[in-house]
Amino acid sequence: MIARMKARQFLLASLVLCVGLAETQMAVAQANSSSATAPSAVVTVPFVGCASNGQTGPQKAPKGKDLAVSIPAALAERLAYYKAKFGIGVLAPRGWHCFSTYGSTGESLFVSPDPIDSTTLFSLKWQGFTGPAVQATVLEGETSGRFEVAKVITRIFPAYETFAQKVIAEGIEPASDFPSGPYPTDKLTYSGKNIVEFETPGSAQGLGTDARLKTNASPIDGVAIIGGKDTDLTEVTARFSGSDQDLIAAMVAQPEREAAAGKYL
């Protein structure tokens, strides 16, 4: 009898212990799940004005307000919002240098860890950035920028093929300048008919190298957005060093949020 009672007590104690462990594991799993899915708090990143030069002459760096963003605070502490007088702004690592060009085709903002020589940007001999850099470009579909817009459309935006074919039909540039279909090695992720995230692998040609970033061993990431009544193209392209790779997602998400808010309409 005593032996049976001891055995029963041992069994009950074991069951209590198992239930306790299960509840603990469930609590930990729920905590981890909540942490993973919890939305980022709204934080701010500093505004950095960028000087520019173009069709109507040099423009001073504008002053602006810090930008509110919904990203983890740890990332926000490493980012700044760069913007010139014309065109869009872009998130990039803090402490970088920036300069913008503008004209009848649109605007391009360049951000780099190294000082940017404006004379070099306008030089026909300059091939592009060889290291980390960001380029944020807006090409206008109603001006001479329409040719570059059409070239991107024939690559990745089949929903806007009619626009591209009208540009090609003008005969100003040969049809061979408008290749159809994506670059073979590019990785494309669609977020609707007018937004495409892309990655051009290292040592390969693709959408990333169509910007002013020269090919090297590192990948180039970005996003292309079609918007506006004139079929404008907004494109943000970046190559970051290994230590800054975790900033890419926040950089790409910013123009997508602005597009969702109707900024490019």
C-alpha torsion angle, residues 101, 186, 131, 147 (rounded to 10): -20
* pLDDT value, residue 40: 67
The residue among 158 and 261 whose pLDDT is bigger is: 158
Residue with tokens 């402490």: 95
Q: CB neighbours (10 Å) of residue 237?
A: 26
Backbone angles phi, psi at 48, to 5 degrees: -125, 115
pLDDT tens, 27-74? 434 444 333 334 568 999 999 999 999 999 999 999 999 999 999 999
pLDDT tens, 147-163? 999 999 999 999 999 99
Residue with tokens 């060009």: 101
- Asked if the model's pLDDT at residue 3 lies above 80, the reply is no
The residue among 12 and 262 whose pLDDT is bigger is: 262
When the pLDDT of each residue in the chain is averaged and rounded to a whole number, the result is 88
pLDDT tens, 66-117? 999 999 999 999 999 999 999 999 999 999 999 999 999 999 999 999 999 9
- Among 142, 60, 145, smallest CA distance to 98 is for 60
pLDDT tens, 240-250? 999 999 999 99
Q: What does the chain look like in DSSP terms, one character per residue?
A: -HHHHHHHHHHHHHHHHHHHHHHHHHHHHHHHHHHHHSPPPEEEE-EEE--EEETT--BPPPP-PPEEEES-HHHHTTEEEEE-SSS--EEEETT-EEEEEE-SSEEEEEEESS---HHHHT-TT---BSSSEEEEEEE-TTSTTHHHHHHHHHHH-GGGHHHHHHHHHT-SS-GGGS--S--TT-EEEESSTTEEEEEEPTT--SHHHHSSB---SS-EEEEEEEETTTTEEEEEEEE--GGGGGGHHHHHHHHHHHHHTTTT-
Label residue 264 by pLDDT band (50, 70, 90): confident
* pLDDT value, residue 262: 86
> Whole-angstrom Cα distance, residue 115 to residue 92?
15
In what order do the strands lie in the sheet containing 220-227? 52-54, 97-102, 106-112, 133-139, 232-239, 220-227, 195-200, 187-190
* pLDDT value, residue 33: 39
The model's pTM is 0.84
